[in-house]
Structure 1
């Protein structure tokens, strides 16, 4: 009994200490993310009103390159630096990371680069959390915990998904394993970061799934989904996983090819910007520039339009993938997640038309599944589906995210992720190979 009471007191003390430390950090992160979202919205709408800004994208790339060359140093590694620092605390996360990534992401979007916002929010979270670690003179264990909480606050605040932010922060560190030691501070950080953004008056995009008949009875047993629909969902989920694999590897390949082919480093973003301009002329519309959430013109393909019949072209997902791989692979800044939402939602729209399936449901499934495969975070993405679209289709969200995760290969967009337990496919084939090899 004495031991039990002692453990309860320790839990209360730990919870109280976590709350006191995490609260100011999450408020600071939420406030900075709110400023970022406001500036990002301004930049996107300003470019909508001044489409000629796209022609200055190569010059914007040069400016971003030299900003990082002069002031960035280790901050250039972005999210991967934060993940590495959580695994092995060492040099720290530079204070300049937050303002640098905020400014350069806004520049990228102002001139039409195809990028997201998650990477910016996560880097803001990590940089601010690391600043408070030094301010409070905390040890390495606390540092790991607060950097993880910083990811949760940034992610939860930028998308309005606090629970997803908390689980994403725990799940993204190591593929196949979750360390729950930081769960409480991550939950606090995610919810406080999101609440702070809301208090600043920043609103997130609302998505809607139309009513879908997803229940049936087989052999007198009620099942929460139609069997034929389930087969279609699993088939589509495998393709979502392959799209995740293609996205991650295309982005890495563009970066590696650019560094190998172009010896003058500041010319890399120039070439990337020129290619984006050329592709936009070739396609004849600007739908794949910037974030892809709000329409630049009536009838534009966006994430929101993908939830409707005819709301995406057959290859919209592929064009967005190419645009984003070129943008990020040639040195422009931003995140990958919103483009992943776009790729997934538009691919879901296309597959729904082919498979005669509910369009809004498949757009939602693609939205979360391509993200799950590219980041190796199927649990967080399942929760994201519930937070964004409601819990009615929770079982389908889980099936889709985990199927995409298994089909996405053993890598992802974050090269610093450590490998914990092998995915089912990897473990099976490795054991089979070892058996016959022996």
Structure 2
């Protein structure tokens, strides 16, 4: 009797668990599909508009001189909407992060004798900035009005030649749209976090056309070393749907063909190691510039209108001196040239400085595509210097820079496969792992948490 009772009880528990699991699966299939369709549609339209205005700007170079006016409109629009200090993607990250990690991060910040170097036995490693979220940051909400603001502001930045990306804006759009859906459906806090993560994945997939890396990115970027696996299925399906939606509307996925590879031998490995270390150093420089330039601007120009006006004038003057439109907007053309092995040696530092100058004074956009440009042009230059394939080194540079600035090695590995295919896999793994290890605790996102020491 006891054995029969135990067996029937076991079957009953299994049935209840199975029923619950099926319900949860169906719930997230529906919700993630909703996020994928809506966020994917908005981000795809955003991408198509950016593509169109990029072509339009290249045919009408005089638009560069309207950059100061675009800057004033951006500051005014954010001010009217009550977002004088735009939190951007950092607000979205802090809205996802666990309150426990917020507490540990705050304790680490207060007790660490050197906040820019990870303590020997730290639980939470510090990021580049001293400003950390408080313990209740997880309760912050992502305003839906962030979607039209970042949408319009990024378009204004690009049409007038500001040096910025679009992926960061897409992440904000995806996150704010999905947050709005979650609020409308009155979902509980944990479900809302997963919805926002799904929105980030959908935005990433729609803008780059890389659903595999998009799935992992939102799970990895918030807290490096502690992925939130319950979000795996929602993020995956949101990414797939957003990616298919983007393709259906005519937005082509990003992909590049490596023209020439190299043999896997000791000499080449040593050269690739050097490239990886340099990529890590440049990624640190890029992050430091992005976090430092706003402070420099603010020190000299207290008024945000004067600040963005001054920054716009500086960017316009530099572009006039360069006598080329290559560094305006996304700079995707530089990636194509780098893959072909045809860029000027100083291209990477010019793009780095122009992006920091543009974003630092208050223009909007993203930093991920500029990191692609910086990495590809740097890699191409190093390839020429070291006698390696400039095409392969440009691709490796993209992987090295992206990993260094985001601290997301798993995402970077998957992204490399989606962008470049599966050739030279070991070289990509070497560059990504070394760049992650050597790039320190710098990050594009000051609200990112890095568990454990890198070294």
Indicate the SS of the match to 1:419: strand
- Matching residue within 110, 124, 138 for 2:173: 124
> More relative contact order in 1 or in 2 (CA 8 Å, sep 6+)?
2
Q: Are the counterparts in 1 of residues 376 and 398 from structure 2 also a CA contact under 8 Å?
A: yes
Deviations 1:241-292 (A, max 9, x none): 1111000101111101111111222111111111111112222322211111
Aligned counterpart, 2:110: none
Indicate the SS of the match to 1:404: helix
Q: Are the counterparts in 1 of residues 96 and 138 from structure 2 also a CA contact under 8 Å?
A: yes
CA-CA distance at 1:417 after TM superposition:
0.6
CA-CA distance at 1:227 after TM superposition:
2.1
- Give the distance between the partners of 1:143 and 1:398, measured in 2 at CA: 34
Aligned counterpart, 2:279: 240
CA-CA distance at 1:116 after TM superposition:
0.3
Aligned counterpart, 1:435: none
Aligned counterpart, 1:430: none
CA-CA distance at 1:152 after TM superposition:
0.6
Q: Are the counterparts in 2 of residues 268 and 330 from structure 1 also a CA contact under 8 Å?
A: yes
Match status 1:307 vs 2:335: no
Q: Are the counterparts in 1 of residues 254 and 419 from structure 2 also a CA contact under 8 Å?
A: no
Aligned counterpart, 1:18: 28
- Give the distance between the partners of 1:68 and 1:28, measured in 2 at CA: 24
Q: Are the counterparts in 2 of residues 379 and 398 from structure 1 also a CA contact under 8 Å?
A: no
Deviations 1:380-405 (A, max 9, x none): 01100001111222222222112111
Match status 1:138 vs 2:187: yes
Match status 1:394 vs 2:425: yes
Aligned counterpart, 2:362: 331
Stretches of 4+ aligned residues off by more than 6 angstroms? none
- Matching residue within 207, 210, 218 for 1:161: 210
- Give the distance between the partners of 2:437 and 2:44, measured in 1 at CA: 35
Q: How does 1:418-429 map to 2 (within 5 A)?
A: 418-424=449-455
Q: Are the counterparts in 1 of residues 209 and 254 from structure 2 also a CA contact under 8 Å?
A: no
Q: How does 1:230-379 map to 2 (within 5 A)?
A: 230-294=269-333, 302-309=334-341, 311-379=342-410
Q: Are the counterparts in 2 of residues 85 and 92 from structure 1 also a CA contact under 8 Å?
A: yes
Indicate the SS of the match to 1:203: coil
Show structure 2 runs of 5+ residues with no match: 1-9, 98-136
- Give the distance between the partners of 1:290 and 1:375, measured in 2 at CA: 21
Point out the more displaced range, 227-236 or 9-18: 9-18
Aligned counterpart, 1:30: 40
- Give the distance between the partners of 1:77 and 1:135, measured in 2 at CA: 22
Q: Are the counterparts in 1 of residues 39 and 173 from structure 2 also a CA contact under 8 Å?
A: yes
CA-CA distance at 1:231 after TM superposition:
1.4
Aligned counterpart, 1:200: 249
- Give the distance between the partners of 2:159 and 2:445, measured in 1 at CA: 25
Q: Are the counterparts in 1 of residues 293 and 357 from structure 2 also a CA contact under 8 Å?
A: yes
Show structure 1 runs of 5+ residues with no match: 215-224, 295-301, 425-438
Give the RMSD, CA atoms, in angstroms.
1.5
Match status 1:62 vs 2:72: yes
Aligned counterpart, 1:413: 444
Q: Are the counterparts in 2 of residues 162 and 190 from structure 1 also a CA contact under 8 Å?
A: yes
Indicate the SS of the match to 1:304: helix
**TM-score if structure 2 supplies the norm length?**
0.86
CA-CA distance at 1:325 after TM superposition:
0.3
Distance 1:140 1:99, change over 3 A: same
- Give the distance between the partners of 2:18 and 2:232, measured in 1 at CA: 17
- Give the distance between the partners of 1:213 and 1:341, measured in 2 at CA: 21
Deviations 1:63-115 (A, max 9, x none): 10111111152882110000011125424111111111111101000000000
Aligned counterpart, 2:259: 210
